[in-house]
Amino acid sequence: MIQSHKRRVRHLPADIEQAIGSAIAQAQSILCVSHVAPDGDAIGSLLGMGWILRSLGKNPILALADAPSTDFDYIPGFAGIVGASSVGDDYDLIICLDASSPDRMGAVYRPAAHDRIPLLVIDHHITNTQFGAINWVAPDCAAVCQMLVYLAEALNVPLSGNLAVALLTGLITDTLGFRTSNTDAHVLQAAIRLTEGGARIQEIVARTLQSRTYAGLRLWGASLNGAMLENRVIWAKISLVQRAQAGARNEDGDGLAGLLLSAKEADISATFTERINRAGEVVVECSFRAKPDFDVSQVALAYGGGGHPPAAGCTLNGPLDKVAADVAAALQDARQTQAQPIGQKFSSTLTAGNSTHG
């Protein structure tokens, strides 16, 4: 079919397809890794790559620096994901998924041991630093899981069963259920193939997007009480004290920036979330969302983070109030420079992308 040939060429250039195919064919032992604080696309693409490699007769190690949320334990292979301490020094190939820079692999990737191993980077972040020996970076894909649909096709791996469930998870979570501004016909065609392969949209939506804890909802309530709106930028803070008072776990309350962006009076939203990092320090996780035609990736990049135009983020040292004030001001500046005359913008109802910078 001419059309599908065109689509494949657009997303998976022939030279990269050839390079990936031969890198995988030559490798006996393969380590696959995705990013810290793994989201649905990180976990889905990691497990999906695992199923693709198994179809090709390989037996890969799948590793994440941070333990994945049990929300995703319905994806076949979930229990086999290992932590950094189970990762050895010797592999023939490392495949890095959904990470825009090497530090995003966290403790799984140890440069002293791993820098000499060929690294294949598969990512869709426009801010990707091209840090692999082979770099397949496709910012026009809504999820790495979408890219793996094309890779599976190129490698003649059937898009069904376990693989379909894994890949549809990343497509659904990174597009917030096919609602983001980067949800185009190619995304929907990829989703059709995965549903034809047996994955079920409504089950994955129920397990992911439509699944929150009571404590998480109460935390949102506390945070929304203090939400601010200035110059079409809306933001809210989530402090460790609020989290404790709501009885919420570390992962409860994620996704609030997407809800904030539904404000008609705003074009850009942000949340500032206090966290305790691995070193035991209090840091502020900043998460940005933008409506179509606005771009928050450059502000994230300027603060040492990254992401996509509609969804980006960074992590800064506190204190919370100062970080929120400074970054909200920077977002308002960015919003002013991106402002367009009233009347040119009609699409104000859709939400932006989901993943932050990973």
In the complex, the residues that contact Mn ion under the rule CB under 5 A are 41, 98, 174, 355
Please, which residues have CB within 8 angstroms of residue 197's CB and are 6 or more apart in sequence? 158, 159, 160, 161, 163, 164
Nearest-angstrom CA–CA distance, 350 and 348: 6
Q: How far is the CB of 187 from Mn ion (least distance, A)?
A: 12
- Helix (H) or strand (E) holding 62, with range, is strand 61-63
Q: How far is the CB of 41 from Mn ion (least distance, A)?
A: 3
Select 273 or 356, whichever has its Cβ closest to Mn ion.
356
Burial of 340 (0-12, 13-18, 19+ CB in 10 A): exposed
Q: Which residue is nearest to Mn ion (CB)?
A: 41
Select 182 or 355, whichever has its Cβ closest to Mn ion.
355
Select 27 or 310, whichever has its Cβ closest to Mn ion.
310
Q: How far is the CB of 332 from Mn ion (least distance, A)?
A: 27
Select 99 or 266, whichever has its Cβ closest to Mn ion.
99
Q: How far is the CB of 37 from Mn ion (least distance, A)?
A: 12
Select 41 or 254, whichever has its Cβ closest to Mn ion.
41
Q: How far is the CB of 285 from Mn ion (least distance, A)?
A: 17
Nearest-angstrom CA–CA distance, 213 and 216: 5
Select 174 or 267, whichever has its Cβ closest to Mn ion.
174
Encoding tokens for residue 18? 């050839």
Q: What is the DSSP string of 137-157?
A: E-TTSS-HHHHHHHHHHHTT-
Select 45 or 239, whichever has its Cβ closest to Mn ion.
45
Instruction: From 109, 103, 193, select the one nearest 145 (Cα to Cα).
Output: 193
- Mapped onto helix, strand or coil, the DSSP state of residue 314 is strand
Encoding tokens for residue 84? 């950094």
Q: What are the start-end ranges of the H helices in the chain? A: 2-11, 14-26, 40-55, 111-114, 144-154, 161-174, 185-196, 201-207, 214-225, 240-246, 256-260, 297-302, 320-338
Q: How far is the CB of 101 from Mn ion (least distance, A)?
A: 14
- What is the chain's percent helix, strand, coil content, to nearest 5? 40, 15, 40
In this structure, the strands spanning 119-123 and 93-97 are parallel
Q: How far is the CB of 175 from Mn ion (least distance, A)?
A: 10
